[in-house]
Structure 1
Amino acid sequence: MNKIIFFLLVAPLMVIAQNKDLSYYLPQDIKYNQSIPTPESSIGFPVGKWHVSHDKLVQYMYALAEASDRVTIEDRGKTFEDRPLLLLTITSPKNHQNLEAIQKEHIEATNRNTADVANRPIVVYQGFSIHGNEPSGSNAALLAAYYLAAAEGDYITELLDNTVILLDPCYNPDGLQRFAYWANTNKNINLNPDPNDREYSEVWPGGRTNHYWFDMNRDWLPTQLPESRARIKTFHKWLPNILTDHHEMGTNATFFFQPGIPSRTHPLTPKFNQELTRRIADFHAEALDKIGSLYYSEESFDDFYYGKGSTFPDINGSIGILFEQASSRGHMQESENGILTFPFTIRNQLTTALSTLKAAKHMREVILNYQHDFYKKARQEAAKQASKAIVFGDEKDAAKTYHLAEILNRHNIKFHDIKQDFTVNGKRFKKGYSYIVPKNQKNTRLINAMFETRTTFQDSIFYDISAWSFPLAFNVDYAENVSTNNLGAQVINLQPKEGHVSSTSSYAYVMEWHEYYAPKVLNELLNKGVRTKVALKRFTINNKDYDYGTLLIPVQNQELNQAELFSFLNKIAKESHVQIDALNTGLAEGVDLGSRNFRTLKKPKIALLVGSGITSYDAGEIWHLFDTRFNIKATKLDTKTIARADLNRYNTIIIPNMNSLSKSNTEKIKTWVKNGGTVIGYRNTVKWLKEQKFIDLEFEKTNIEAKNISFEEKSDFKGAQVIGGAIFEAKIDRSHPVNFGYKNDKISLFRNTTVFIKADSISYNNPIKYTKNPLLSGYISKPNLELLSETVPFQTKNLGKGKVIAFTDNTNFRAFWYGTNKLLMNAVFFRNEL
C-alpha cells in the first residue's frame, strides 16, 4: 500500500519535471521581448527536460548575441578538446557603445587615490559549472542570459545601465559535455528517482573534471590549464567587483551561499570583504524565501585557498561568492528533502544569479568604493617596501624559472631581469636564470599570497590545501627583502631560454640533467634509437664540471651519421630549451667517458593504471605531465582490462593513488615485476604494495588518541589529523639516481597523506629523508608532525628480477608542482639504476 501511495505521489512529479516552461524559472511580473529567442527555440527542448550539451549551449549563446543589442560574445580560446571558451558581455546598448572606455576607467579607478563612483557601472563576473557533473549552473546560464537579453521594464533598464555583466556560461566545457552525455543516455522516459539507477552513478572518471581529469576549481592561481588562462585573462582585464561560482553538492543537502565558516578565511583577506559578502547574502536569502527553497550559510566551506574561484577574487579586490546546490545528479532523485528534480536545482541557481545582480545594483557604490580602497591600501603597504624585492631562480634550470615567471605574468605581476649575478644567504642568482619582483606594485597582496609560507592558523580544518608557496612548489632558490638595486630591465616580453648545441663533434655530446625539459630530450633520443648513457658520477672536462645524471651521446656506432646526429640534436635542443655540449675527447677529471659509470639507458614503455579504484586526479596529473610536457607516450591501462592485457608490452607500470586491486590482477602484476618489470606506486598504493608483499616496508603508526574530546568535537578532532596539503622539507642524497638533476641537498615536498615510512637502517637506502623539523608551510597536527620527522617519502627494492618503487607524496600535484616532477622522470628513465 505504501508503495502505491508513493507512486501516486511521485508519478505526477515525473511528468512535470520533464517539461517546465519559462514561468517556472523566471520573474513573471515583467514583460519579455518576443524578438529574443528563448532557449527552447534554439536547443530544441524546454530547459531542464534534458541536460544541455556544450554544443547546444554555445549555439544558444550565439543566437542571443545575434538577436540582442545588449549582448556581445567572445571566443577566448579552446579547451584540450577544442571546445570554445565563451564569454558574453551583457550591458545596456548605451554602455556597449562605450565599453572600451568603461573598462579603461574601471581599471584606472583602482590606480587612483580618490574614488569617483557616482556614475561608474559595477562589474559582475558570473560563472557556471566549473565541475562538469554539477550541471544546474550551466543550464541556469541559459535562462540568466535570456532574462538579461529579453526582460523589459525600468528595473532591467536601470540594472543594465549600471552594471557590466561578464557571463561565462560554462567554466568546464569538456566536463559538461561528458556528463550531459551520461545523464541523457541513461535517462528513462518514465523518470526514475531511485538513487540506485545507473543514471545517478557515472562511470570513472566522471564528468567533474576536464580532459586531463583536473579539478579546475583549484587552478585559478596556478593557471596551468587553458580554461583557467582564458578566464584569468578576462579577470585581470576587468577586475570584476563580484565573481560568482555556481556549484553542486550532495543530493541530501539544500542550498549554500557564502560566507563560509568565518574562522576559515585567509588572514590576507580584508575583514570588510566578508562583511560585504554577508550583506549580499541577505539578497540571496530574500530571493530563496520567495520561492520556498531551503538554504544555509556560514556553516560549511571556507575562503582560505586562493586557487578556488570563490576565493581568488578576495585577494584581488573583488568579492568571490560560492553557491552550492544539492545535486539531482541526473533528472530526478530521491533525497532527504523529498524528490529533487533537475528543474528545481536550475531554478535555485538562476534565482541566486539574479539576486547577485540585484545586490550589485543596490550596493554598487559601496562595492566600488571597497575595490578602490583595497588597492589604495595595497599601494600604501607596497610603498613601505619600496626598496625591497623578491628574487627567485635556479642557476641550472632556466625553464623551471621561466614557468614560474609565466604564472606571475598571467597575474599582471611585474618582474625584472637581475642586473648581474649576485648571492644572498649562500644562494647564487644567475642572470638569465633568475627574476626579481619589486614589492612596490599594485598586486603586492597577490604577491604575498603566492610567496608566503605560513605555519600558524586560526583553525585546523581546511576545505582544501593549507599551503601553496610557489617558490617551494617549483623548488627554486629565492630570497625575500633583497634590495631593488639588483633590478635590471623590466620583463615585458617573457621568452624561454634558447637551446642549442655548442658545436659539431666527431666524438661525443653531453647534456646535464638539471634543465626541466631534459626528460623530453632523452625521450626523443631513445625514440630515435640514439644510444644514450647516463653518468652515475660527476666529472670535469674542458674545465667544466658535469653533475650526476649528465647524459652522454657518443657519435660513433649510432644509426645516424655524424651530420645527421648533430642536426637532430640541434633540433631537439632548440625545441626543449636545453644546452648540449660537444666534446672532442673522452679524457676527463673524475670518470672518463668510457667508464662503466656511464650506463646505457633503455627506452621506457609505460603503462599508467587508470579506472575504478584509482584516484582520477592523480592519474590525470601524470597523464598530463607525460603527454603535454615531455611528449612521452603512456598507455592508460584500465583496471578492468588488466586481466586480458599483455603486460610484457611494458617495462614500467605506474599506479597512482589506489586502495585495492583484485587478487588475480595483483598476482598478474607481481609476476610481471618478478620477471623484470618496474612498478611505481604513489600515496596509498604504497600501503597496498606492502600488504601484497611487493615491498617490505615499516610504517609509523598513526593512531592518535582522542583524549578529553566531546561528541560535538569529534568531527573537528578527526579533521585536524588530516594532512590536506602542506609542504615539507627533505634532505636528499644527490648521488642517488632518483635525485639526479637537483643541485641542492634539500627539496620541498607536497604531502597530503598520513603514510609514514620508517627510514631503512642502511643510510644509503634513504636517498630522500624528511628533516627533523620538516614543516615549511601549511597545517599539520603536532602528533602527525612528530610522526613525520625523519621518515622517508621514497623507497625502492628489488622483487625477483624487477623493481618496486614507492612514493608516499604526490610529485605531480595539480600540474604546478614543477619542482618534484623530475623525481618521477628519474624513476622512469633510471629505473634500472635505482
Structure 2
Amino acid sequence: MHPARLMLGAVCLLTAHLLGGAAAAQDDWVPGSSYSDVPTIEDVLGFKPIERFTSFYETEKLLHRWAEVSDRAKLITYGEDYEGKKLYMLVVSSPENLAALDTHLANLGKLTDPRKLGAGELDSIVANTPATVMISTIDTSEASSVEAMQIVAYQLLAGTDARTLRILDNVLTYIIPVENPSPRERYVSWYHTARSRIPKADPNAAEHNPPWGVGNDSNHYQLDPNRDMVPLKMREGRAKVELIRRWRPELALDIHEMGAESTFFFPPYPEPYNTNLPNDTLKKWWEIYAKDMREQFDARGWRYFSGDSFGSPFLGMHTLYTQYHGMIGILFEQAAGSGGLVLERKNGSLLTLRDRVQHHVTGIMSYLDTTVAKRQELHRDFQEFFQSSMDGVPGVQQKAYAFPPDDDPNKMSQFIDSLLAHGIEVQRTSEPFSVGRASGYFSNEPERHAFPAGTYIVSLKQPLSRLANALLEKEPYHSIPVFYDISVWALPYQYGIDGYWMNDVPHVAMESVSEPPSPKGEVAGGKAGFAYVWPYRGALDAAAAYRLAESGVNLYLHPGPATVAGTSYDAAFIAPVDENDESIHNLMRAVVEDVPVRIEAVSTGHAADGSDLGSGLLQPVGKPAVAVLTREGTDTTAWGSFYFFFDEMYHLPFTPIAVPELAEVDLQRYNTIIIPDGGQSVRDGEIRGKPYEWYFREEGTQHLREWVERGGTLITVKGGTAFASADGGGLTSTQSLGVTQKTPGAIVRVETRGRSPLTTGYPDTFHVLSRNTRLFSAGESGRSVLSYVDAEGLNVAGYLLDDDSARLATTDFLMTENIGQGRVIMFGEDPNLRNQWTHLHQLLFNAILFGPLVR
C-alpha cells in the first residue's frame, strides 16, 4: 500500500475513535431529535463539531449565518475586547417570543424592581413570560465549552422535536459562546500550529503544553476577567454587567474545564456561602436542577461530583457574581487538563474532546428542561430576591454607607463609577448632617460622626442591596476558613476611600447620582509667568508628571507643605518656565486635555508658607525611560497588571523586554527596569517552581547588576525581590525569610520608617493587601521604607492566622538598597495585584519618578 494511503487510514481510524464514528451527527449529541434545514456547523465552517477547535472568527461567521437564516435567533453585539473583537450574544427562542421580546424584557425589568411592579401584575407576568437562561464562559481557552455551546445553539435553532420546541416556547436562551475572545484565539491559533496529523494522547506532547501566555484565560492584557467583577476595571466584565442589567437572566450556566484526573462538577456547592445571598433559596434550586442532571449522567454511566468543591463567598468571579443579580448561578467544571483532542490520564484511559463536549451538551439540555418545568416558580423566586432586598439585606444590621468627599477627586470618581457600573443606586447629600453611631473602615468602635455636604450615600433599601453590601462591607463572613481566591475585597479599601456605615438611612436632602463626578483637566491662570504647579494627591497627578517629563519638560517635586499664589499644597509638582522652552505652555494644555488634573499657572516663586519654588529642598524629576520584564519566568498576571497600568489605565510609554533576551539587550536605553512578581510561586505556605535567576541565567543577572551599578533604578516585586535578595541573585543584602502559611488576601497595616520620596502622598500608617506573602527584611546595606506594624494592630480586615501575623510583623513591605551609582527598590508584596488596588498606584509612580532621589 502507498505510504500516504497508509497514513490516511491511520488518521481516519483514530479520528473515528475520537469522534465516535457516526456519533458526530447532531442527533447523537441530543438523542431523539429531528431537524429543519438550518445550516449545520459543517455546512457553514466546512468541518464537523469536535474534528477541530473553532476559532473566534469561525464562531463569529457561524453566529452571523444562523442569525441571517433563522427566525428563532437574534444576534446581539454587546461590546468588544481590547483587540477590537466583537462580543456576541445569540438570543434563541420561538419566533413568537422574539416578536414580543421588548414586552418580555420590560416585564422582567418589573420583576427586578418592585417599585415598578403594579398591583396584580405579578401573576400575569409569571404566567406569560418565558424564563431567561444565560449560557457562557469567560474562560474561553477551556476549549470544550465553546464547542458545546455551538452544538446547543444549533439544537435550539434547527430542532423540530417536541423537547426542543418546549424549550423554545418557554425559555429565552442567551448563548455567549466566546465571551473573552483573546485567549480563545491565542489558544486555537497555537494549537493548530502545535498539533500533529495524528492527535497525540501523550500528556508530554507539545500540543498539551502551551507556551507562556497561551492556554490561560486572560484577556489581551494577560489579566483574568474572571477575577474582575468587584472593581469592574476591564471591558469584558463591564460589558457583561450591562448585558445582565438589560436582558435580566434568571439562570446563569457558566461552562468551564478543570484538571484531567477529575470528572464533572455541578452544584450544590459546599460551604462557605456569602451571607448576603438568600442561600436557602439557592440551595433549593441547586437541588432542583441537580436531580435531572444526576439522572442523565447516571443513565449514561458518567462519573460526576457535587457538594464538596468550588464553595466560596467571593463575588469577583462570574458564576458567583451572577447570584447578586438574582440569578441561580451554576458552575459546570469538566475534566480536561491541558485540552487537545485526546489526552491520556494517569490510569491509561483516554479523555477525548467528544467526551468533554458531550457532557456539557447533556448538562445544558438538562438544565433547560428543568427550567421549562419550573418556569413559574423560577420567576417568583427571582422577583422575591429583589422584593426581599428593599428594606436592607435580611439579617444585616447596617442600612446605609456614607462616603465623604475625598481630597483626590479622581479617586472618588473611579470609586463611584465602579458602583454605578454594577447598577448600585447612589445619592449625594446637598447639606451637612451627622449621625449618632457610625462605624468606619479603619475604626474599631461606632461613634458619632459629622458629614459634609457632597457626601455620597449608598442606601441598602434598594433592589441590589445584597450586591451593594457585598461590595462595601468591611469583610465577609466565612463560616469555615476555605477560600477559592481572596478573603476580603471591599471596594473602599481598593480605592483608598474613607467611609462609614450606619444602621439607618440618614434623613438629609439628597439627589440621585446617575454619572460619576467628572473632574476636568485645566490650566488655571492662563500662561504662566514663573511656573506651573499642581498638587500631588493621587496617581493621575503623577501620570501627568510622567507624560510631561517624558516629553522633555524639566520638573521638580516640592515635598511640601507650601502655600503658593493662595493655594496650599502638601506635595506638588513644579515646572519652572525659565528651565523649559516655549513649548512648555502647549505641553501643559495638551496634558490636561487627556488627564483630569488642575494645573495652576503662577507668576511668583514665593511661598507664603513653606519653601519657595527655587529652594534646594525641591528635587528634580528625571525623564522616565521604563522597561518591564515579561515572558518566561514572569507571572502572567503580575506582568499583565503592569501592562494594563501603563498602556490602558494611564496611557504611558514603556518597553516590555522578554526575560530570555535580557543578557543581549542594551539596557542603557532605560533608567528604570521593573521585575514583576514571578520566578517561584507561593501556594499553601510553600514556594514552588524555578527562581528568577534560573531564567535570567548568570549572564543576564550580571548584565542587570552592571546596569544598576552604572546608575539604573531596579524596581522588584515579590518574586522579583526574592531574586534581588542575598539568597537569590545576590544583588542586595536583603534577607528572604520564607512565606506565610495562609494569607488569602488580608488587608493589613504598614508604617513608614522615616521620610522618603517613595512614600510621598501617604500618611505615616496606611493599609495594603497581603496575599500568599513572601517575607523579607532589609539587609545590612539596605533600608526599610515601609514595615508591617506590630501583630496586635496589623490586621484591618480579612483572614490572617495568628502565626502569620507574628511573622509579618517582623518584616518589611518596601525596602531600598544603593548599589554603586544606582539603587534597587524592593516591594515584598505586589502593590498592583490585578491592577485593582488603585490606592497603591502612587507607590509605583513614586518608585518610577523618584527612584533616582532615593539615598
Q: Normalized against structure 1, the TM-score is what?
A: 0.91
Distance 1:830 1:428 in 2: 37
| Equivalences for residues 212-361 of structure 1 within 5 A | 212-260=221-269, 262-272=270-280, 273-327=282-336, 329-336=339-346, 338-361=349-372
Equivalent residue letter for 1:657: D
Change beyond 3 A, Cα 1:412–1:702: closer
- Counterparts of 1:522-541 in structure 2, within 5 Å, are 522-541=545-564
User: Is 1:671 the equivalent of 2:681?
Assistant: no
Instruction: Decide whether the 8 Å contact of 2:783 with 2:817 is kept in 1.
Output: no
Q: Distance in 2 between matches of 1:252 and 1:543?
A: 69
Q: SS in structure 2 opposite 1:155?
A: helix
For 2:700 and 2:404, the matched residues in 1 are separated by 45
Determine which of 523, 538, 547 is the counterpart of 1:501: 523
Q: Give the Cα–Cα distance (whole angstroms) in 2 for the partners of residues 300 and 258 of structure 1.
A: 9
TM-score normalized by structure 2?
0.89
After superposition, the Cα gap between the structure-2 partners of 1:486 and 1:597, relative to the gap in structure 1 and judged at 3 Å, is farther
Residue in 2 that maps onto 1:182: 190
Q: Is the 8 A contact 1:132 1:207 kept in 2?
A: no
1:240 match: secondary structure:
coil
**2:734 corresponds to:** 697
Q: 1:210 and 1:763 mapped to 2: Cα distance?
A: 38
1:426 shift after superposition: 10
Q: Secondary structure at the match of 2:110?
A: helix
Q: Distance in 2 between the 1:770 and 1:289 partners?
A: 56
What aligned pairs does 1:290-689 form with structure 2 within 5 A after superposition?
Answer: 290-327=299-336, 329-336=339-346, 338-381=349-392, 389-393=400-404, 395-420=406-431, 435-454=456-475, 457-481=478-502, 484-504=506-526, 505-548=528-571, 550-559=572-581, 561=582, 564-588=583-607, 589-659=609-679, 660=691, 661=693, 662-689=697-724
d(CA) in 2 for partners of 1:618 and 1:428? 41
Amino acid at match of 2:733: D
- Cα distance in 1 for partners of 2:477, 2:160 equals 53
CA shift for structure 1 position 362 = 1.8
- Distance in 2, matches of 1:511 and 1:428, equals 30
How big is each residue's C-alpha offset from its partner over 1:443-478, in whole Å with a ceiling of 9 and x where there is no partner?
111111001122763221211111100001101111
Per-residue Cα deviation, 1:556-599 (whole angstroms, up to 9, x for no partner): 2312x2xx533431332242111111222112122111111111
In the TM superposition, residue 383 of structure 1 has moved relative to its aligned partner by: 10
- Cα distance in 1 between the residues matched to 2:215 and 2:703: 31
8 Å CA contact 2:409, 2:519 repeated in 1: yes
Between 163-172 and 262-271, the greater mean CA deviation after superposition: 262-271
Name 1:724's counterpart in structure 2.
744
Structure 2 residue aligned with 1:739: 759
1:39 corresponds, among 38, 41, 63, to: 41
2:101 — aligned with what?
Answer: 99
Aligned to 1:127: 136
Q: Given residue 51 of structure 1, which amino acid in structure 2 is its aligned partner?
A: F
Compute the RMSD of aligned alpha carbons: 2.6
Aligned to 2:87, which of 85, 95, 109? 85
> Is the alpha carbon distance of 1:357 and 1:825 closer, same or farther for their aligned partners in structure 2, counting shifts above 3 Å?
same
Partner of 2:785: 766
- Which residue identity is paired with 1:498? K
From the superposition, tell whether residues 407 and 69 of structure 1 become closer, same or farther in structure 2 (CA, over 3 Å): same
Q: 1:13 to 1:465 in 2, by over 3 A?
A: same
Instruction: Give the Cα separation in 2 of the matches to 1:456 and 1:57.
Output: 42
Q: CA deviation at 1:483?
A: 5.4
Moved more, 376-385 or 280-289: 376-385
CA distance in 1 between partners of 2:451 and 2:711 (Å)? 43
What are the superposed Cα offsets for residues 195-235 of structure 1, whole Å, 9 maximum, x if unpaired? 11111111111232110001111122322111111111111
CA distance in 2, matches of 1:807, 1:420: 43
Q: Which amino acid aligns with 1:401?
A: M
Change (3 A) 1:483 1:119: closer
Aligned-partner Cα distance in 2 for 1:365–1:678: 64
Q: Which moved more, 1:604-613 or 1:466-475?
A: 604-613
The answer to whether the 8 A contact 2:134-2:175 is kept is yes
Q: Tell me the secondary structure at the aligned position of residue 766 of structure 1.
A: strand
Shift of 1:345: 1.2
Secondary structure in structure 2 of the residue aligned to 1:447: helix
Q: For 1:751, what is the secondary structure of its paired residue?
A: strand
Deviation at 1:283, TM superposition (A): 2.2
In structure 2, do the counterparts of structure 1 residues 667 and 556 end up closer, same or farther at CA, with 3 Å as the change threshold?
same
Deviates more, 1:809-818 or 1:349-358: 809-818
Aligned residues: 801
- Most deviating of 294-303 and 83-92: 294-303
Q: Residue 149 of structure 2: which of 132, 137, 141 is its match?
A: 141
| 1:473–1:748 contact (8 Å) kept in structure 2 | no
* CA shift for structure 1 position 828: 0.6
Is the alpha carbon distance of 1:456 and 1:242 closer, same or farther for their aligned partners in structure 2, counting shifts above 3 Å?
Answer: closer
Q: Corresponding residue for 1:712? A: none
Instruction: Sort the Cα spacing of 1:762 and 1:336 in 2 relative to 1 into closer, same or farther, 3 A.
Output: closer
Relative distance call for 1:696 and 1:528 in structure 2 (3 A) is same
Give the Å deviation of 1:745: 3.8
Q: Give the fraction of aligned pairs with identical amino acids, expressed as a percent.
A: 27
Question: Contact 1:194/1:334 (CA < 8 Å) preserved in 2?
Answer: yes
| Displacement of 1:289 | 2.6
Secondary structure, aligned partner of 2:715: strand
Any idea what SS the aligned residue of 1:757 has?
A: strand
Deviations along 1:31-66, one digit per CA (max 9) or x if unpaired, are: 1112x1111111111111111100000100111111
Q: Which residue of 1 aligns with 2:6?
A: none
Q: Distance between the aligned counterparts of 1:604 and 1:393, measured in 2?
A: 35
Q: CA deviation at 1:771?
A: 5.0
For 1:103, what is the secondary structure of its paired residue? helix
Distance 1:30-1:765 versus aligned 2 partners, 3 A rule:
closer
> Contact 2:782/2:817 (CA < 8 Å) preserved in 1?
no
Answer yes or no: is the 8 Å Cα contact 1:213–1:617 preserved in 2: yes
Does the CA contact (< 8 Å) of 1:183 and 1:199 recur in 2? yes
Q: 1:634 to 1:478 in 2, by over 3 A?
A: same
1:381-425, Cα deviation, whole Å (9 max, x unpaired): 369999953222553211111111111111111112332467887
Query: What do the CA deviations read for 1:483-509 (whole angstroms, capped 9, x no partner)?
Result: 534453211233511121221321111
Structure 1 pair 698–507 and aligned structure 2 pair: CA distance change class (3 A): same
1:626 is displaced (CA, Å) by 0.5
Shift of 1:806: 1.1
Q: Which amino acid aligns with 1:696?
A: S
The alpha-carbon distance between structure 1 residues 603 and 577, as it changes in their structure 2 partners (threshold 3 A), is same
Deviations along 1:85-116, whole A, 9 cap, x unmatched? Answer: 00111111111111111111112023338842
| C-alpha distance in structure 1 between counterparts of 2:322 and 2:196, whole Å | 41
Aligned to 1:173: 181
